[in-house]
Structure 1
Amino acid sequence: MIPATAHPAPRPATRLDIQLVPALSDNYIHLMRDAATGTVAVVDPSEAAPVVDALARRGWTLDLILNTHHHGDHVGGNLDLKARYGSAIIGPAADRDRIPGLDRAIADGETFLVGACPFTGIDVPGHTRGHIAFHAAEDAALFSGDTLFSLGCGRLFEGTPDQMWRSLTRLRALPGETAVYCGHEYTAGNGRFALTLEPDNADLTARMAAVAALRAADRPTLPTTIGMERATNPFLRADLPALATTVGLAADGDPVAVFAEIRRRKDNFRG
Structure 2
Amino acid sequence: MKDQVVSNLAWRHRKAAAFRYFCIGVTMFAVAILVVLIYQVTSLGMPWLDMQFLESFPSRFPEKAGIKSALVGTLWLISLTALISIPVGVLAAVYLEEYAPPNRLTEFINLNIANLAGVPSIVYGILGLAIFVRFFALERSVISGALTMSLLILPVIIISSREAIKAVPGSLRQAAFAVGATRWQVVRSHVLPAALPGVITGVILAISRAIGETAPLIMIGALTYVAFVPEGPMDEFTALPIQIFNWTSRPQEEFHELASAGIIVLLAVLLAMNAIAVYIRYRGSKKSS
Give the TM-score taking structure 1 as reference length: 0.30
Larger Rg: 2
Q: With CA pairs under 8 Å and 6+ residues apart, which has the higher RCO, 1 or 2?
A: 2
